[in-house]
Amino acid sequence: MFDQNLPTYIHTFETYPRWKTFQSEHYIFHYFAESEAEKDLEHIVKTQESAYQKIITTLKLDNPGKLIEYYFYPNEATKTALMGDDWYAQAILNEFRVHVLYTKKDKPLGEHEDTHLLSLPWGLSFGLFNEGLAESMVGHAWDGTPHLAYVKEGYAKGMYPALSELMDHQGWLNSPEDGRVMYWYSLVGAFTAFLIQQFGIECFGKLYRNTRRENTKEQNSTVFQSVYGKTISEVEEVFKNFR
């Protein structure tokens, strides 16, 4: 079982009678009649099936042998009432489910949440690499801007701590929840993509499988150095120049 910090999570959605359902090759989609999700269903199916294949192929993962369930909510109030939270999207690791706020304005589709689920055979690394892997599979920020554009601006404005300060899970939990959040997700996504591009997916998989949320900064940093032969600070300097 994987530990997630979801104190308000509820399961009212499981017995809610108004769901419509569509099953594709790798997914079960739940949505409301006449909702934005129903209108976009064909696009949703194509987008997620494409994301699924990209993740499996890029990370060299086996098919999990079970379907990913998606629940699409038409507004924040309904999402909160049925699953307990109004955030855009959450992957529930132990249930292989994703809950999504899907409106005319907000349509968070793609690789991010599915990467959290499909990478579970590797275990569950701490925030820097768990969120970084998911963002690296997306390849850009939520608004479509390349990650590196935000990263360049973020470093220029002094918005980031040293990556060595993010080498435990609390470091990620301390990240801002205001307008700077896009910069932080871009940082971890771009850095993870850099590691994969420069050193290969096999090395990153080894790093991911051997780092833990319960580890200290020092323990995770030791794993990093054993995999890459350099400290996180040394690799960060190369990453900054790579930008």
Q: What is the tens place of the pLDDT at every residue in 36-46?
A: 999 999 999 99
Cβ atoms of 73 and 87 closer than 8 Å = no
Q: Where are the beta strands (DSSP E) in the chain?
A: 19-23, 27-32, 68-73, 89-92, 97-101
List the structure tokens of 145.
């801007």
Cα–Cα distance for residue pair 134/161, rounded to 1 Å: 21
CA 194 centroid distance within chain: 17
Cα–Cα distance for residue pair 192/226, rounded to 1 Å: 17
pLDDT surpassing 90 at residue 175: no
User: pLDDT band at 1, cuts 50/70/90?
Assistant: confident
Averaged over 31-60, what is the pLDDT?
98
Which sequence spans correspond to the domains of the chain? 12-121, 124-242
H or E segment to which residue 184 belongs: helix 181-199
Whole-number pLDDT of residue 2? 86
Averaged over 192-220, what is the pLDDT?
97
Whole-number pLDDT of residue 4? 85
Cα–Cα distance for residue pair 128/93, rounded to 1 Å: 17
**134/181: higher pLDDT:** 134
Q: Which CATH number fits domain 12-121: 1.10.150.120, 3.40.50.970, 3.40.30.160, 3.30.1360.30?
A: 3.40.30.160
**pTM for this model (two decimals):** 0.95
Averaged over 105-125, what is the pLDDT?
97
Whole-number pLDDT of residue 243? 61
Q: Which has the minimum average pLDDT: 49-63, 80-94, 103-117, 176-190?
A: 176-190
Q: Which has the minimum average pLDDT: 3-12, 128-137, 223-232?
A: 3-12
> Who's near 169: CB < 8 A, 6+ residues apart?
126, 127, 213, 214
Cα–Cα distance for residue pair 18/158, rounded to 1 Å: 48
Cβ atoms of 160 and 204 closer than 8 Å = no
